[in-house]
Amino acid sequence: VIDFDGIHRELYPAAARSAYLDTAAVGIISRPVRQAMDAVTEDHLLFGGAHWDARAAVISGARGTLARLIGGRGDHVAFTQNTSTGLAIVANGIDWRAGDGLVVPAGEFPSNFYPWTRLRRRGVEVRAVQMRQGHAETADIRARIDGSTRVLALSAVQYSSGFRYDLEELGRLCRDAGVLFVVDGTQAVGALDVNAGRADIDVLAVSAHKWMLGPTGVGFVHLSRRALEMLQPSTVGWLSVDDPFAFDREPRLAPDARRFESGTENAAGIAGMAAAADLVLSAGVQVVESRVLDTVRVLEEALRERGWSCPTESPDARRSGILIASSGGDDGAMHRRLLDRGVRCSLRGGGIRFAPHYFTNSDDVRQVLDAIATLGT
């Protein structure tokens, strides 16, 4: 393995303690993320919680930062707790009529499946698209869309195969069919260039705790103008309105995405998430993407040379930060061995899931190769 350094690696103390290749489960956080969260907490400590202007500055700054990361607009960003609450904004925000349908790949992560199947009790038909080679084919998706379809929901990257959908192609498909395009970006945003504007994504829901390398329990959605107009806010509170301090009896909902927020927000979490996004922006979204893809390629080649194989094959443009590879033997035992040898990874999708990020360096890759060489000896 040729030597390479990690990007911003010195900011991630956890990267020095193990070969951390488990970002697809939960990412590690950096010192700037902690500092941003501490600054909010320190402000609360010194000045009290009702320090509204300071909070407002943090939160509106964060909207702009996140919008830059995903090619969107700050006033189209709403903060959420996680992906599930982000997707619930859509599932509970459409005026579903009996007979309406939605299309979703059959193998989606539960966060992007349960919100939809819950709608069956309202007479909505859930059309699950069969998976081939770890993903739903565009032709199969197209074949399931008809005049009753209101939503196509899928993850930018499938958690169990690492397949990266062609979002621009699917965005066009949705536009032509008059279908709302809903993307779970949690396995992609922070590592890959996901551009809500270019791909015509109506709702992009993201959690901070994986590839964004942010804190847990916070995320965001980015809504297109169409989605802003079409979706009815389902959880409305005093901060969903244009002027919260008017305390009106009849809410005048905020004209922007704040209408999908409800009450007092997780300011420290939002600050941490924005600090994490700032690090990606400072390195460059394309630079980060290329680095992550290169690292996956280096690791895959080295594993193949040692007799490993991949349960699914994808062309280059459809690859992501997730590599699933099998030793050909007992992957459960291999996984335990890797953990024992300080390599953090998961057992998923018919093999071992490796998920490096921009902080990964060549020593991490060598640590994997050393660990697998020792099995059975």
Ligand X SMILES: Cc1ncc(COP(=O)(O)O)c(C=O)c1O
In terms of C-beta density within 10 A (0-12 exposed, 13-18 middle, 19 or more buried), how is residue 229 classed? exposed
Return the number of the residue (59 or 157) whose C-beta is nearest ligand X.
157
Q: How far is the CB of 224 from ligand X (least distance, A)?
A: 20
Helix (H) or strand (E) holding 209: none
Return the number of the residue (186 or 312) whose C-beta is nearest ligand X.
186
Please tell me the distance from the alpha carbon of residue 131 to that of residue 299, in angstroms, as a whole number: 26
Site for ligand X, rule CB under 6 A: 82-84, 109, 111-112, 155, 159, 184, 186-187, 207, 219
Check: CB of residue 359 under 8 Å from CB of residue 6.
Answer: yes
Closest listed residue to residue 235, CA positions, set 245, 221, 225, 216: 221
Return the number of the residue (11 or 157) whose C-beta is nearest ligand X.
157
Residue 123: other Cβ atoms inside 10 A = 11
Check: CB of residue 149 under 8 Å from CB of residue 179.
Answer: yes
Q: How far is the CB of 354 from ligand X (least distance, A)?
A: 15
Q: How far is the CB of 130 from ligand X (least distance, A)?
A: 18
Q: How far is the CB of 147 from ligand X (least distance, A)?
A: 29
Residue 219: other Cβ atoms inside 10 A = 30
Closest listed residue to residue 123, CA positions, set 146, 147, 98: 98
Return the number of the residue (156 or 254) whose C-beta is nearest ligand X.
156
Return the number of the residue (155 or 367) whose C-beta is nearest ligand X.
155
Return the number of the residue (262 or 362) whose C-beta is nearest ligand X.
262
Q: How far is the CB of 290 from ligand X (least distance, A)?
A: 22
What's the gap between Cα 41 and its chain centre? 26
Q: How far is the CB of 269 from ligand X (least distance, A)?
A: 12
